[in-house]
Structure 1
Amino acid sequence: MLPRPSLSFTLPSLHDNTKLDCRIYHPACLNGPLGPSDTSWRQHAAVVAHPYAPLGGSYEDPVVHLVANTLLNLGFVVATFNFRGASSSCGRTSWTSKPERADYMSVTGFLVHYVHYLRPPRHNPNPTLLLAGYSYGALVTIQLPPLDSFLSDFASPATHTALADIRLRAQHLAEQQNIMITTPSSPRKSLGLRVGGDEDTTPPKTRERPRFSSPDREERIRKGVKEILSRHRLIHRKHDHSSVGRSGRANHDETFLESVDNLIRFRCAFLLISPPLGIITNLATMSFSSPFASWSKRKRGVSPSSAGNHGGNLEGEEAEAEMKLVRNPTLVVFGDQDGFLAVKKMRDWIAQLGSAEGSQFCHVEVSGAGHFWVEEGVAHELRDSVFSFATRLIEIS
């Protein structure tokens, strides 16, 4: 369904530097030479997150492929990735989903900077960034903080952090792709570039868990990042730190990346496919907070301030997560035969968010569709819903 990725590479997670396996797909308009006046690529981009890893979820999931391919054909640059513990990514799935949210933010931060550095020069003042997820991936998408709040962490990060590494990898890989895009005879244009991991073309159903990365490939990306870093003007800041075991304080000099000039500004949107809310949310993630929680408390007249400090903070995070779905274009697609969600609660939730003043929240309920979208004809309805929603996004951008 999907073509071979234009890029296969690894990223460190913002949570704890766990290595994540990632892919970038270029639309057809980026697969040939582009001149400075070319207007076919409008810089739309999307991230698509996969289902629960312990149940077999990965970026090879058929629904992930269907959504990614639909967006790719509309001209989006599409990123897919494996959460920690999924397929070839390192680490283990958490019980809280907090590390997975950091995984998602890591890929999003990369994609924003990657698209920024891709050429030809920008001509769309307000491209769309669509943050999407299916099943567990949709739950994580719901819980993401607003885009601007976590992108601000990438503005001027310390050079030794994952934030800086992600930014530098994005610039390095974009510059490599720029050479391929502008060089018709490039032999690697249709083959893609594997950075930080081994290419594995064995069908996913028959292959064993792949080796994660080869030292020579990872070394090449480190050299590329080092070269990019040597061209950056760094900011030096002194910090006072208490000296362990000594009286007094010691000065410590740290270096930081400068902010990116005129960083591309996206219009954010959200796509949620079959978020398993209501019935097994807590069973799947043990302590993953349900987006129903803050709405149900508000309905009962319970305010965040009436809870304890920790509960109040969690309530505020849930409310903020919901509000981003109201304030930004959001589509939820689910089936009325989905055994992984409480359909009545889902209907109540979408009615509440959809009726809020100025809401941009909408939904499609597909008759006869289950959680895995294998019933006759329902995959076509899913694809058509995604296509219509994404088309509206790019028409108004």
Structure 2
Amino acid sequence: MPEVIFPGPEGRLEGRYHPQKDRDAPIAIVLHPHPQFGGTMNNKVVYNLHYAFYNMGFTVLRFNFRGVGRSQGEYDQGVGELSDAASALDYLQSLNANSKHCWVAGFSFGAWIGMQLLMRRPEITGFISASPPANMYDFSFLAPCPSSGLIVNGTADRVAPPADTLALVNKLKEQRGITITHEQIEGAGHFFEDAHLDTLVGTVTSYVKRRLTETSR
């Protein structure tokens, strides 16, 4: 999988780009957890989500937010990181102009950034939010949430408690025109340790495949 360097708002951004042979393949970007707590594009959850999308026929890009790895700049409280994500999507779209489906997946802090990107970019047709930190960040900008998607969390998550995630899901489910699917993985912590990671990948894969089947009818 080729390493790529592409322009971001504060200099270069480092990523991993995994194209399909099909020029019409759907595209997805995957966003990593908090840069100040060890989050990188090589996080296990991010890595596994990347390959889950690739194995479903997506052309996929994951990348390091500013100040992480070889990406230039420094942490910017989520504001700059949202701009980084927008630049990553621009880059991915520039290489895949024929793609008809665009997804964003994020884990933890990356889920928060991904949901904000969703609000900015109407071309995004689906999202995956894994362990969204609804207790730490304000998600009220999702009014209304513009796209259907999957929110998945563990029942033993001590970083982002399930009760806060459920409150977010219930709030989003009140909105019309979209469908928020919520899956809880029994016994899983914030990072979907051990066998829970396979369960996460299976959950995401079955959801995305179902969505793709529905849109192709």
Kindly provide the amino acid, as one letter, of the partner of residue 84 in structure 2: D
- Distance apart, 1:138 and its partner CA: 0.7
TM-score normalised by the chain length of structure 2 = 0.91
Deviation at 1:360, TM superposition (A): 1.6
Matches within 5 A, 1:339-354: 339-354=158-173
The C-alpha deviation readout for 1:120-177, integer Å capped at 9, x for no partner, is xx5x7xx2211111111111112223314xxxxxxxxxxxxxxxxxxxxxxxxxxxxx
TM-score (normalised: structure 1): 0.51
CA contact (8 A) 2:133 2:165 kept: no
1:298 counterpart residue number? none
What are the superposed Cα offsets for residues 28-64 of structure 1, whole Å, 9 maximum, x if unpaired?
A: xx1xxxxxxxxx6642000001111222111111111
Q: Distance in 2 between matches of 1:97 and 1:21?
A: 18
Q: Which amino acid aligns with 1:363?
A: H
Q: Report deviation, 1:89.
A: 1.1
- 4+ residue segments displaced more than 3 Å: none
State the alpha-carbon separation in 2 of the partners of residues 101 and 61 from structure 1.
19
Cα distance in 2 for residues equivalent to 1:340 and 1:274: 9
- Residues 1:323 and 2:171 aligned together: no
Does the CA-based 8 Å contact 1:277-1:340 persist in structure 2? no
Residue of structure 1 in register with 2:110 after alignment: 137
- The offset of 1:347, in angstroms, is 0.9
- 2:5 is aligned, of 7, 10, 19, to 10
Whole-Å separation in 1 of the counterparts to 2:26 and 2:66: 26
* Cα distance in 2 for residues equivalent to 1:134 and 1:347: 16
Question: 2:62 aligned to 56, 80, 84, which one?
Answer: 80
Contact 1:41/1:75 (CA < 8 Å) preserved in 2? no
Q: Which residue of 2 aligns with 1:274?
A: 131
Question: Which residue of the partner structure matches residue 66 of structure 1?
Answer: 48
Q: Aligned partners of 1:272, 1:74: CA distance in 2, in Å?
A: 18
Question: 1:21 maps to which residue?
Answer: 14
1:67 is displaced (CA, Å) by 0.6
Q: Where does residue 204 of structure 2 map in the other structure?
A: 386
- What are the superposed Cα offsets for residues 234-286 of structure 1, whole Å, 9 maximum, x if unpaired? xxxxxxxxxxxxxxxxxxxxxxxxxxxxxxxx5521111111221xx2xxxxx
Runs of 5+ consecutive residues of structure 1 not aligned to the other structure: 31-39, 117-121, 149-265, 282-288, 295-317
| Equivalent residue runs for 1:84-95 within 5 Å | 84-94=66-76
TM superposition shift of 1:290: 1.0
CA distance in 2, matches of 1:102, 1:388: 30
* Backbone CA RMSD of aligned residues: 1.8
**Contact 2:24–2:96 at 8 Å: present in 1 too?**
no
Aligned partner of 1:135: which letter? S
Aligned to 1:332: 151
Distance 2:212 2:176 in 1: 24
Q: Out of 138, 142, 148, which is 1:290 matched to?
A: 138
1:104 is matched with 85
For these two proteins, the number of residue pairs brought into alignment is 214
Tell me, which stretches of 5 or more residues in structure 2 are unaligned?
A: none
1:359 aligns with 2:178: yes
Higher strand fraction (1 or 2): 2
Q: How does 1:94-173 map to 2 (within 5 A)?
A: 94=76, 96-116=77-97, 122=98, 127-144=100-117, 145-148=119-122
Aligned residues of 1:142 and 1:322 also touching (Cα < 8 A): no
| Larger Rg computed on CA atoms | 1
C-alpha deviation, 1:390, in angstroms:
1.4
Contact 1:330 1:360 in 2 (8 A): yes
Q: Aligned equivalents of 1:147 and 1:11: distance in 2? A: 19
